[in-house]
C-alpha cells in the first residue's frame, strides 16, 4: 500500500460501482475496508479488492486502517455515518445531499470543525470538462455582464428502473434533493453563491408503481413534492431559474443556459462530467462549440474524492467541499420552504466559489504520485 491514502466505503448500492472503478485506477488511494447492511454483498465486493476487508459499519468507522470514510448510504443515513466517522477522527466524503435537513447538515459541519477533520460531498460532476469549460468562458468575459440563467431537469421518476425507489419519495428525496444538487452545484460554480429564493411546488400523484425488479407492480406512497420550480437570486445579482420534476417525460431545454449581454452559453448535463459546451456570441449570432479548456479530463464518480484527498496535504477543503454542499442544501431547502410558505426566503449560509480546475490530464487527477495519508 505504501503511502496511499486508505479509504473505507460504507454503502455498496448501485452508485458504488462507479466509485470502485475510479478508485481502483488511482495509485493515490487504496480501499482497505467495505461495509454494507447486506453482509454478503460486502463480502462479495471485498473479494474483488486485494487490500479490502468486509467489516460491519461500526468496525469500519473505528478501524485504524481507514483514513477517510466514503459514505454512499441513502440520504436518511448520511448524518449518522458522517457523525460516526467524525467521532473516530476520520475525514468523511459522502454522496449528495450532505444531509436530509439543514439542522443535520449544520451538526455535521460543527462536529467536523470541533474534531479537526474535514467533510467533502458529491456532486463532483462539476469538476469535469463540461462545467469547468463553461465556467472558463464566463470568467474570461465572453458573455459580457451576466443577466440570467436557467436549469431544467424533467423525468417521469425513478420507479421505472430502480428496484427499490422508496427513498426517492420520502423526506430527503424528491426531484430537487435527488437531482437538484447537480444543478445547484453547477450554478454555484458558474454564478457564485445564492442570496435568496422564491419557489413553488406540486405533487402529481400520491403513490407510484414500481415497474422493475422483484417488487414490480408494488405501490409506494409519495410523501414529497415531485415538481419544484423557483428563482435563485445570486449574490452577484444574477437571477437563475430552476425546474426539477418527476412528473413529466422529458424536455428539449438545455440542462443549463447562461445569458449575458454579449452571448448565451449552453451548458451540458451537470449529471455528467463532460459534454458539449456551446456559445452563441451577440456579434455573430452563430453557435460555436468550445473545446475543453478546463476541468479533469475523462473524470468519473470519485474525482471529487481524489481532489478532496489531494487537498488534505495543504489542509484545504477540496473543491467538492462540505461548505459547498451545505450552501447547496440551504438553497434547496429554502426553495421548498418558500414553496410551502408562499414567500421569499433568505439563505442562512454563503460560500466562496471553489477554485477553478485547470485542464488536467486523466493520469494527473487520478494521482500518478500517491498522496500522503
Cα torsion 76, 230, 183, 175: sign: positive
Q: What percent of the chain has pLDDT over 90?
A: 94
Q: What is the pLDDT of residue 330?
A: 98
Cell numbers given for 56: 460491519
Nearest-angstrom CA–CA distance, 231 and 242: 6
Mean pLDDT over 201-227 rounds to 96
Q: Is the pLDDT of residue 160 over 80?
A: yes
Q: Can you list the domains of the chain with their CATH numbers?
A: 5-121 (3.40.50.720), 125-290 (3.30.360.10)
Nearest to 312 by CA among 63, 71, 127, 118: 118
Nearest-angstrom CA–CA distance, 67 and 309: 10
Q: What is the pLDDT of residue 2?
A: 52
C-alpha pair distances (Å), 139 with each of 33, 124, 165, 254: 41, 20, 39, 20
Question: Where is pLDDT greater, at 74 or 88?
Answer: 88
Nearest to 208 by CA among 171, 243, 162, 250: 162
- Could you tell me how far CA 362 lies from the centroid of its own chain? 20
Mean pLDDT over 87-97 rounds to 97
Q: Is the pLDDT of residue 130 over 90?
A: yes
Q: What is the pLDDT of residue 139?
A: 98
pLDDT tens across 63-72, in order? Answer: 999 999 999 9
> Where does residue 203 rank: exposed (0-12), middle (13-18), buried (19+ CB within 10 A)?
middle
Q: Is the pLDDT of residue 168 over 70?
A: yes
Q: Is the pLDDT of residue 314 over 90?
A: no
Q: What is the pLDDT of residue 373?
A: 31
Strands of the sheet with 119-121, listed across from one edge: 53-54, 29-35, 5-10, 68-71, 91-94, 119-121
pLDDT tens across 245-299, in order? Answer: 999 999 999 999 999 999 999 999 999 999 999 999 999 999 999 999 999 999 9
Contact 202, 340 (CB under 8 A): no
pLDDT tens across 36-69, in order? Answer: 999 999 999 999 999 999 999 999 999 999 999 9
Using DSSP's 3-state secondary structure scheme, residue 179 falls into helix
Nearest-angstrom CA–CA distance, 10 and 160: 26
Nearest-angstrom CA–CA distance, 358 and 55: 38
pLDDT band (50, 70, 90) for residue 371? very low
Mean pLDDT over 222-229 rounds to 97
Mean pLDDT over 112-118 rounds to 98
Using DSSP's 3-state secondary structure scheme, residue 302 falls into coil
Q: What percent of the chain has pLDDT over 70?
A: 98
Q: Is the pLDDT of residue 370 over 70?
A: no
Q: What backbone phi and psi angles, to 5 degrees, belong to 230?
A: -175, 180
Cell numbers given for 190: 458558474
Amino acid at each position: 500500500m505504501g503511502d496511499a491514502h486508505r479509504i473505507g466505503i460504507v454503502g455498496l448500492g448501485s452508485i458504488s460501482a462507479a466509485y470502485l472503478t475510479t478508485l481502483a485506477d488511482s495509485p493515490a488511494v487504496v480501499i482497505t475496508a467495505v461495509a454494507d447492511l447486506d453482509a454478503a454483498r460486502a463480502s462479495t465486493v471485498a473479494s474483488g479488492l486485494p487490500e479490502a476487508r468486509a467489516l460491519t459499519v461500526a468496525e469500519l468507522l473505528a478501524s485504524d486502517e481507514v483514513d477517510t470514510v466514503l459514505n454512499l448510504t441513502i440520504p436518511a443515513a448520511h448524518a449518522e455515518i458522517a457523525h460516526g466517522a467524525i467521532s473516530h477522527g476520520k475525514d468523511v466524503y459522502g454522496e449528495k445531499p450532505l444531509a436530509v435537513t439543514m439542522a443535520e447538515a449544520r451538526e455535521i459541519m460543527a462536529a467536523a470543525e470541533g474534531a479537526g477533520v474535514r467533510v467533502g460531498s458529491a456532486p463532483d460532476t462539476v469538476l469535469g470538462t463540461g462545467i469547468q469549460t463553461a465556467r472558463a468562458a464566463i470568467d474570461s468575459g465572453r458573455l459580457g455582464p451576466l443577466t440570467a440563467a436557467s436549469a431544467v431537469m424533467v423525468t417521469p421518476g425513478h420507479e421505472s428502473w430502480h428496484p427499490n425507489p422508496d427513498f426517492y419519495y420520502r423526506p430527503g428525496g424528491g426531484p430537487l434533493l435527488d437531482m437538484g444538487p447537480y444543478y445547484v452545484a453547477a450554478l454555484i460554480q458558474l454564478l457564485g453563491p445564492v442570496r435568496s429564493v422564491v419557489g413553488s411546488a406540486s405533487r402529481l400523484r400520491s403513490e407510484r408503481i414500481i415497474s422493475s425488479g422483484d417488487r414490480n407492480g408494488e405501490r409506494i406512497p409519495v410523501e414529497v413534492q415531485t415538481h419544484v420550480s423557483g428563482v435563485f437570486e445570486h449574490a452577484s445579482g444574477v437571477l437563475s431559474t430552476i425546474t426539477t420534476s418527476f412528473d413529466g417525460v422529458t424536455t428539449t431545454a438545455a440542462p443549463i443556459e447562461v445569458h449575458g449581454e454579449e452571448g448565451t452559453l449552453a451548458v451540458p448535463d451537470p449529471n455528467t462530467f463532460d459534454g458539449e459546451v456551446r456559445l452563441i456570441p451577440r456579434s455573430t449570432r452563430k453557435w460555436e462549440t468550445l473545446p475543453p479548456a478546463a476541468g479533469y479530463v475523462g473524470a468519473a464518480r470519485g474525482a471529487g474524492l481524489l481532489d478532496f484527498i489531494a487537498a488534505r496535504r495543504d489542509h484545504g477543503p477540496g473543491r467538492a467541499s462540505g461548505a459547498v454542499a451545505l450552501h447547496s442544501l440551504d438553497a434547496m431547502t429554502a426553495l421548498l420552504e418558500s414553496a410551502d410558505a408562499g414567500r421569499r426566503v433568505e439563505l442562512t449560509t454563503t460560500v466562496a466559489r471553489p477554485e477553478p480546475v485547470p485542464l488536467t490530464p486523466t493520469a494527473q487527477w487520478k494521482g500518478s504520485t500517491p498522496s500522503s495519508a
